[in-house]
């Protein structure tokens, strides 16, 4: 009898964990020429694209996270990471807006190339969500 109860508890816990991993979602991911807010992303307006002579900020808005999850956001050029930001989630159900980049312009502007924003969410050492933008050339 005890074995059946333990099996049921483990099964329910596994289903709950799988459901919460499925509920975690990347609500917004992109590159823009300024730091963004959740309110600006909620409006749904297109954000300006960065250029060689503007700031460049990669952003990700991730919803329905679980305490202990880790969210990583990166700005990369031609596949090589340039800047990265990481945050560990402190409470269940949390929404995280994380950004990585420069709010100023590098001396001489951004080098030619294709830039991407990427986000990765890990839980208990396993990737549960991963996404990246299409490459964006800075003109």
Return d(Cα 52, Cα 106) in angstroms, integer. 9
Cα–Cα–Cα angle for 91, 65, 57, rounded to 5 degrees: 105
User: Whole-model pTM?
Assistant: 0.83
pLDDT digits (tens, 9 = 90+) for 96-108: 999 999 999 999 9
Residue 101: alpha-carbon gap to chain centroid:
13
CATH of domain 25-137: 2.60.40
Beta-bridge partners for 122: 70, 127
Per-residue pLDDT tens for 65-97?
Answer: 999 999 999 999 998 999 999 999 999 999 999
């Amino acid at each position: 009898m005890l074995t059946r109860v333990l099996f049921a508890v483990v099964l329910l816990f596994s289903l709950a964990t799988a459901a919460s991993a499925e509920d975690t979602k990347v609500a917004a991911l992109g590159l823009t020429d300024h730091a963004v807010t959740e309110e600006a992303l909620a409006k749904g307006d297109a954000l300006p694209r960065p250029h060689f002579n503007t700031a460049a900020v990669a952003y990700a808005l991730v919803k329905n996270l679980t305490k202990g999850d880790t969210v990583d956001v990166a700005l990369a050029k031609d596949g090589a990471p340039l800047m990265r930001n990481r945050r560990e989630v402190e409470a269940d159900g949390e929404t995280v807006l994380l950004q990585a980049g420069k709010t100023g312009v590098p001396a001489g502007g951004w080098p030619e190339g294709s830039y991407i924003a990427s986000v990765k969410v890990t839980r208990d050492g396993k990737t549960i969500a991963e996404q990246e933008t299409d490459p964006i050339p800075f003109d």
